[in-house]
Every structure is written in C-alpha cells, then in structure tokens.
A and B are shown apart, each in its own frame.
Chain A
Amino acid sequence: MGEEEGLHQTQLLDTMFVRGLKRKCFDGEEDIEGTLAGIKAIPSYNLQRQSLLDMSLVKLQLCHMLVEPNLCRSVLIANTVRQIQEEMTQDGTWQMVNTQSTGQASLDRLVSTDILCRSSREQAEGKLVPDYSTFNKDFESDQAQDSSETMSTASSVQAPRNLQSNVWEMENPQENKGSFQKSLDQIFETLENKSPNSVEDLFSEVDNSYYDLDTMLTGMMSNSKMGHCDGLETFSSPTTTTSSSNCKSDLNELDHIVEILVES
C-alpha cells in the first residue's frame, strides 16, 4: 500500500520529467517563441533535474551504510549522477543553482514527496536511517520535527544551495564540483578496499552523527547484547515470515554498527 501512495505522490515528478524530456529533444529547434517558452521551462526542468540529483545522492549514501551495498545498483546510480552533472556543466547551470533562491519553495514540495515515499517504505521494513544526520548538522535545529526522515528533507533542500557541503566529506567541505566526483570515487574505493583501515574511515565520518541520535543509539546499545531471537521482540512487525527475516537482518546491521562504535 505504501508503494502505491508513493507512486501517486511522485507522479508529479514523473510528469515533470516527461515534459523535461520533450524540452531536451527539441533543444536544437528554438525560434524566438520557443526560446521564450524554453526560458520559462528552464526553472522547472532544472528543479526536477536537481531533485533527481538529490534523490540519487541520498540513495548513494544509503547504500554507503548498508551491510554490503549492491554494486550494480550503486554503479547505475553513480552513472546517473555523472550524467546529470555533465549536463549541468554543459548547461552552465552548475553555478546558477547556488545563487538561486526562488526555487526553494517548490524544491521543498518536490523533495517532501520523495521523503513521504521513503518513510512509508522504511516504516514497513522497520529500518532505521541513522545516516541522514550526516547531512548538514546545522539544519537539525531548523527542523522542529524530530523524525529522521524530516531531517533528510531539510538536508536535501540544503544540498542544492550548498553543493559544496559534500555529504561524504564532513571534515573537508569541497568548494567545487570536483566534490561529486570525489564522492563517487570514495564510494567505490570504500567498496573495494574494505580493509580494517578503511572500515574505520567509513565509520569515522559518521561517528559524530550517531552520538547525536540519542534515541536510536540507546535502542542500538540495548540491542547489542541480545541474541537475534530476543531482539526480534523489540521490533513491531507484521506477523509474516518475510518481515521477521527483514528484522533479523536489520538487527544484524545494528549489531554490526554497534560493534564498530564500541571498538573505535
């Protein structure tokens, strides 16, 4: 059911993309009127493209944190990010987006549909999303709501304004679009070099964020000593075998994360 609702709410994005597509196809055929119409269309195409970029970055970060990311999915998303980046570079909109403030309101709306979809899905799966707090921590105070999903709304909205505040590199905010390439590179490096050193690197970036998430951390710590069977009771899940195995793997994730924290 959650998926259905999600589908409805992102239909907005779908129709916008279809429109954007047509504009792309007719790129070479502008007359005066076309140009005017094109100029009017530019903000909405840019917005939807930006929203796709934000969505992709969130997805990449999510798989940064999973037990072992699906390499095919990561590669496909990374390629999508590169495509968008290349197009934005050609368009010259890369610099434009930083100064644009008018689009913020509609971005909120676009991104909030994205979050609504995700929250219904993640709730169904009983997953926690601690990684969202690795986005700009400054904005946690701005957001009155305490759900982690809403934090990601704020952060995604901020992302276009501060493309440079790279979500992977909290310690070294980059000032140019090289940060995207670096972030993609870092993902693949991490995937490839999962030696003990890089595992620590992987988690050292997000350590601070975990300490911020008091409730989640408490939950994790209390689960860390439990066996898998005991832990299942702390998750409310529909009584199907499917979700209990989901819970089990989520618990394994938590145990694994807690082990890392304890070690470091």
Chain B
Amino acid sequence: SYTADIISTVEFNHSGELLATGDKGGRVVIFQQEQENKTQSHSRGEYNVYSTFQSHEPEFDYLKSLEIEEKINKIRWLPQKNAAQFLLSTNDKTIKLWKISERDKRPEGYNLKEEDGRYRDPTTVTTLRVPVFRPMDLMVEASPRRIFANAHTYHINSISINSDYETYLSADDLRINLWHLEITDRSFNIVDIKPANMEELTEVITAAEFHPNSCNTFVYSSSKGTIRLCDMRASALCDRHSKLFEEPEDPSNRSFFSEIISSISDVKFSHSGRYMMTRDYLSVKIWDLNMENRPVETYQVHEYLRSKLCSLYENDCIFDKFECCWNGSDSIVMTGSYNNFFRMFDRNTKRDITLEASRENNKPRTVLKPRKVCASGKRKKDEISVDSLDFNKKILHTAWHPKENIIAVATTNNLYIFQDKMN
C-alpha cells in the first residue's frame, strides 16, 4: 500500500499496466505493473511507483476572493497512440493534459556544450564529432501539454474522453462543456441547467460520461436522482434530453432525506455500452439504456444506514460521494462504503461480498476475509454492529483493471491493490 495525502481519484489506463491516483495536494502518482515474472507464474506483477508529479497548485480567484483548491477531482487516460502516455487531470476549475514519457537514453558528445551543459568556448573546438545516444537510467517525465482553463464558473465534477479520442467533456455543477484536445482557448457549452434566477436553483449536475462507443451520446446525472441521455446530433445545446432515466419514489420509504439519498454521486457506462450504473447514497443501480422508467438491477450497499440518516445528515456523511466501477467483463460491479469496507456484486450469481481494506486485518498475499455488518439484534461472532462502524474511514474511490481481476481501492490516505488468486 502507498501512503499519501488524501486520495481523491483512482484510474487504470486502457491496458491496465498503469494506475494513476490524484490527491488533495494536487499531486498525481502513477504506478506501473511489473512485467510478469516467468519464474513466479503464480502471481501477476506488482505495481510500483512509476512517476510522481505536481499537477495542480492552489490558486486564488481575486475576483471572487476565494481560493481554488488544488485537489485532483478526476483523472482520465487517453488511449495510447505512441510511446508516450497521456492523461487528463482536473481540479475544480482547470483541466490539464499531461504527457508522460520515458527517457532511457541521452545524447552525449556535443561539440559546443560540455557534459554538464556549460557552453564551450568555440575557439577551443579543434575537431568535430557526431553526438551519440548512450543508455541512462530510466527517467519518467511528465510535462503539461495543454491547459484548459477559464471555462467553468462552478466546480468541475467530471471529465470524460469521447470515443473519437479527439474531444472530451467537462462537467461542473450547472454546465457541461465540450473540448477539442488540441484547442485550449475555447470550448463548446453543450448543457446548461443554470436557472435565469439563481433563487430557483433546486438541482445540480453531479456526474457526466460519454458513451464508450457512440461518440455523439453522453449522459449526466443530477442531485435529484435522474439521469439524462443526450445526443449531440440533435441540437447544439443539449438542454433537451433524448432520454430521462428516473425510478419512481417508493412512498413507504419517504422521509425528509429522500431527495438527498437519491442524489447520484457517480454514473458509469458498462464496457459494452448497453448498460449504465449509477451510485446513490444507499444503492447501486444498473440501467438498460432502452428502459427509462426503472433500473434493471438494484443492489443495496449498506441498507442498514437507512435508519441512521438523521445522524448521517448531522455529521455530513450523507453528502459523501461514492464512486462505482465495472469489472472488465461487466459481470461484477464494485463500490465503497464506510469502515474501510467495499462491496462487490456479481450480476450473474446475484451474490455479493463485503471486504475490508486495512493493514491490520490483512497480511500481504493472504485472502481477504469477507465481512458482515449486523444491522440489529444479536451480533454473531465476526460481525460488526452498525454502531461500531467508523464513518471517518470511507472508501469513495475504487477502480477495476480493464482486463484482469486486479482492483485498486483507496482509503483516506492509502491505496490498496488486490488481485484474485491465480491457480
């Protein structure tokens, strides 16, 4: 595991070889999977630190007299086109395109420069030579290639790269903008839900994502538990959705907290593009894009918290934004919970499991022990009662390797990487 500032985002690249994390201090740390060791065929390569760089710095908005946090809200990888890797990282206001490249050779034998870079007196040069590349220790360099700034009045919560690999969207609380990766001085506003009169504001955008295959389609979720699917071919400003996904409220569960817990904190398309998954405070829902009136599957993450909503409102935990993710084959979905627990749901077998990410309870290379929370009544051995849960230990960010059963789970300060036992 890796100790860091508070981790705020975790993302595998398209091959799964690289894993990027962003933190509250504006840093990005990239891990690289070791090449498989032929002699140790029972384990996949471990992930080691590959590159660390400062992506964003704190800024001060003089006009509003407010500080802009450097915390990295999201990282998204571009598919690899050449030797270098590219990723987008964003804080509340500014998106940056970073190029990560390796250098394992350096030129030596310049005529006009010494090896340390000092310029030679040209009059001392008596012969000419051709500089040659000599091997050096691997150096991984990160350089900012594009800075996409000044397009968001509100806080950016999502970025998503289009399947055309040329454009991407960025979403804040009230607006979604479309960018071209090459162009930084302008973006296209494609969704705007800001009311003319801010007093009428009752709903915000919470997440947005492009469809994995259909480059004109994207979805965005709201704080009222709705998801809107938009087609950019329909009109320039996608204020009118093509589809509206919303589950009718269960009247028997109605309370003053109903709206808050229906607020969607994350939306993710399946790899196939047939489904999308949403995370609200207590559950994960799978939607078929062809059915708008209700999800096709619902999984309860921690239903035992329903009777604690007032306390969770009071201590602000009810506003925690949990993310969710699919495994490579879209058969399992995963999301985090409290007490450093995270949950997996197998869509085929309908089985679910609760696991814990903590050093005390798990030695490296041991199989994770399933956990169980006792909602009420007599607590069995090894069960944990709801009242003993630590609500400071929350797992908000998880990621699943695109091809293998390797998962990355971020607790507040630590990153855990788990893999399934190979035979």
Contacts and interface: CB of A to CB of B under 8 A. Distances in A.
Nearest to A24: B254
A6 B319 contact: no
A67 B201 CA distance: 20
B25 A14 contact: no
B317 to A, nearest CB: 8
Given A14-B308, A14-B310, A67-B67, A76 B260 contact: yes
B381 interface: no
A8 interface: yes
Contacts of B315: 3, 6-7, 10, 117-118, 121
Contacts of A55: 313-314
Q: Which of B198, B223, B310 has the most CB of A within 10 A?
A: B310
B65 A196 contact: yes
Interface string B359-402: 00000000000000000000000000001111110000000000
Interface stretch (B126-134, B202-210, B322-330): B202-210
A215 interface: no
Interface in A90-143: 114, 117-118, 121
B278 to A, nearest CB: 15
B107 interface: no
B413 A52 contact: no
A249 B311 CA distance: 26
A114 B67 CA distance: 29
Contacts of A181: 199
Interface in A64-82: 67-68, 70-73, 75-76, 78-80
A220 interface: no
B124 interface: no
B178 interface: no
A191 interface: yes
B413 A240 contact: yes
Given A3-B392, A7-B315, A80-B256, A72 B263 contact: yes
Contacts of B65: 194, 196, 199, 256, 259-260
A188 interface: yes
B6 A245 contact: yes
Interface residues of B, number: 54
B346 interface: no
Nearest to A10: B311
A191 B198 contact: yes
B66 A67 contact: yes
B319 A70 contact: yes
Contacts of A189: 198-199
B211 interface: no
B63 A75 contact: no
Contact of A7 (B4, B316, B391): B391
A14 B391 CA distance: 16
Contact of B252 (A7, A25, A192): A25
B66 A76 contact: no
Interface in B252-285: 252, 254-257, 259-260, 263
B199 A14 contact: no
Interface in B53-87: 58, 63-69
Interface residues of A, number: 57
A79 B310 contact: no
A4 B255 contact: no
Given A55-B314, A73-B319, A245-B6, A68 B155 contact: yes
Nearest to B222: A72
Interface in A168-209: 181, 184-185, 188-189, 191-196, 199
Interface string A220-252: 000000000000000000001110010001001
A18 interface: yes
A71 B63 contact: no
A48 B204 CA distance: 28
Contacts of B390: 3-4
Contact of A188 (B69, B201, B412): B201
B105 to A, nearest CB: 36
A21 B412 CA distance: 34
A84 interface: yes
Contact of B66 (A10, A68, A188): A68
A14 B66 contact: no
Contacts of A18: 307
B146 to A, nearest CB: 25
Given A7-B391, A10-B311, A70-B319, A256 B67 contact: yes
B96 interface: no
Nearest to B391: A3
A35 interface: no
Contact of A194 (B66, B69, B310, B391): B66
B173 interface: yes
A159 interface: no
Nearest to A188: B198
Contacts of A241: 3-5, 413
B24 to A, nearest CB: 6
11 contacts: A8-B387, A10-B310, A14-B310, A14-B311, A68-B64, A73-B319, A114-B314, A117-B311, A240-B413, A242-B413, A245-B5
Given A17-B256, A49-B256, A114-B314, 13 more contacts: A7-B311, A7-B389, A10-B311, A10-B315, A14-B309, A18-B307, A24-B254, A67-B67, A70-B155, A71-B155, A76-B259, A184-B199, A185-B198
